[in-house]
Amino acid sequence: MYGRGRERKLLAVAFLYTFTGGAVLYLKEPGPDGLWAMAAALVIFAGFMLLSVLWQHRKITFDQYITPIISFLAGTGVVFLFRLNPGYGYRQLSWVIIGMVALFLTTTLLRCYRDLAEYKYLVALTGILALLLPVFFGIELGGAKSWLDLGLFHFQPSEFVKLLLVFFLGSYLMESRMLWQAGEQKIYFLPGVQQWGPLLGMWLTALLVLVFQKDLGTALIYFGTFLAMVYMATARWLYILLGALMFFSGAAVAYTVVSHVHTRVAIWLDPWATAQTSGYQIIQSLYAINDGGILGTGLGAGFPGFIPAVHTDFIFAAICEEAGLLGGIGIMVLFMLLVYRGFKIALVARDEYAGLMAAGFTTILGLQIFIIVAGVTKLLPMTGITLPFISYGGSSMVANFILAGMLLNISGEADLP
């Protein structure tokens, strides 16, 4: 009943995949970096296997697909970072290890996550204070003032506030669900003040993040997650329509007032007008994806170094260049499977509260994946967020492992096939 054989077989496949990538790097350029890339595959495999053994020992029936998918993604990220810049590879491996520790702690200490519902307003206050810290004490990196300099590393509070947002919204929406649905009894089905308050408050929060932190991607994720969870709790399209109207209104204001947003949109519309300056990054990304063709140039045989910030925002372009269209599709399939498992957990969750929480966490992942990949391929303006489990970044890595831990906790309560 508590066997985890399926999970371990998939973890072994993920190990062979990552180890092969490290071996290719070593054969391409023999040296300690290639050996460390192969060792990283072993470390990631051993870490997830240890977690699997611990969970089986505790007789917990978590979903058996989430950790293998994460192992594939994290392994891909580490190998490509060793290829791009070994220094980033070493540090990313450290963050993956810390992330696995965070995953274990989440599945141990937050098993009774329902208790947090009683402290939802404290959770909301904590999130607001965390967002305010970079405004007063933060530093600007990549155009966004959303980082705190802690000496040894930079910390991005907004990555963890995304999780607090789901905790708060899950509790708040379940408590006031009837209030949100009461709009059906009003003339023209318009919501009342009780519903407008939270909607307007969330809109203002996203707008303030955009104005003061200049973090377009995070603002999109916050507001998108809020609207998705409201819809899932009420099944009313009206809130989506109102939210979309507010979003486009706020975007128009931001385009006019915030120079950073104006620049991003201008680059998106015509990067060739500033091909040697602000448009250089996205143009190099498109060149890299095109050069990769169907099968790619081969690991270590491309020129992703021409892309600024390739290790963070544009790592998907590097993957497409050296692994080709097939490699890029493979990564997207893994992400689709991860999102599918998340929504599967939401559908079979023990109750509506757990289902809403799982759907909220999965929505964060899905939005983040879509926004960054759409930005790299010029489908949307570039927003500067990370590709989950792959891009370089400690805050994002640890936060996503905690998110995965919450999905596992919810799956442990359900009868999940």
What pLDDT score does 2 carry?
Answer: 59
- Condensed to tens digits (0 to 9), the pLDDT of residues 352-399 reads 899 999 999 999 999 999 999 999 999 999 887 899 999 999 999 999
Average pLDDT for the chain? 88
Q: Mean per-residue pLDDT for 215-224?
A: 84
Task: Name 45's Cβ contacts closer than 8 Å, sequence gap at least 6.
Answer: 11, 12, 14, 15, 18, 71
313 token code pair: 């925002």
Pick from 122-131, 252-261, 278-287 the range whose average pLDDT is largest. Answer: 278-287
CA gap 272, 283 in Å, rounded: 8
Across the range 66-94, mean pLDDT stands at 96
What are the tens digits of pLDDT across the range 51-64?
Answer: 999 998 888 888 99
Over residues 9-23, the mean pLDDT reads: 96
Could you give the CA distance from residue 383 to residue 36 in angstroms, rounded to a whole number?
Answer: 32
Predicted local distance difference test score (pLDDT) of residue 187: 42
Region class of 326: left (phi > 0), else alpha (psi between -120 and 50), else beta: alpha
Mean pLDDT within 168-178: 79
Quote the pLDDT of residue 196: 59
Question: If pLDDT is split at 50, 70 and 90, which confidence band does 113 have?
Answer: confident
Residues 28 and 221: their CA atoms lie apart, in Å, by 39
pLDDT at 188: 47
Q: Specify the pLDDT at position 416.
A: 63
The reported pLDDT for the residue numbered 1 is: 44
pLDDT tops 60 at residue 195: no
| Residues 301-358 pLDDT 10s | 999 999 998 998 899 999 999 999 999 999 999 999 999 999 999 999 988 899 999 9
pLDDT higher than threshold 60 for residue 185: no
Helix orientation angle between 394-413 and 352-376, rounded to the nearest 10 degrees: 150
Beta bridge partners of 299: none
How far lies 395's CA from each of 27, 160, 178, 414, in Å? Answer: 32, 8, 36, 29
Q: How far apart are CA 233 and CA 242, in angstroms?
A: 16
Q: What's the pTM? A: 0.93
The burial of 415, by beta-carbon neighbours within 10 Å (0-12 exposed, 13-18 middle, 19 or more buried), is given as: exposed
Asked if pLDDT for residue 130 goes beyond 80, the answer is yes
Mean pLDDT of 58-74: 93
Mean pLDDT of 108-133: 87
Q: Please give the pLDDT value at position 50.
A: 96
At 178 the pLDDT is 55
What's the confidence (pLDDT) of residue 360?
Answer: 96
The sheet carrying 139-141 orders its strands as 139-141, 144-149, 154-155
pLDDT of residue 147: 81
CA dist 376 and 283 (Å) reads 10
Output 34 or 91, whichever has higher pLDDT: 91
Least confident of 208-222, 243-257, 296-310: 208-222
Judged against a pLDDT cut of 50, whether residue 30 lies above it is answered with: yes
pLDDT, greater one: 303 or 172: 303
Q: Which of 22-26, 71-75, 326-330, 381-385 has the lowest mean pLDDT?
A: 381-385
Residue 179 has pLDDT above 70, yes or no: no
Residue 379 has what pLDDT?
A: 93
* Closest C-alpha among 54, 58, 148, 57 to residue 101: 54
Q: What stretch of H or E contains 145?
A: strand 144-149
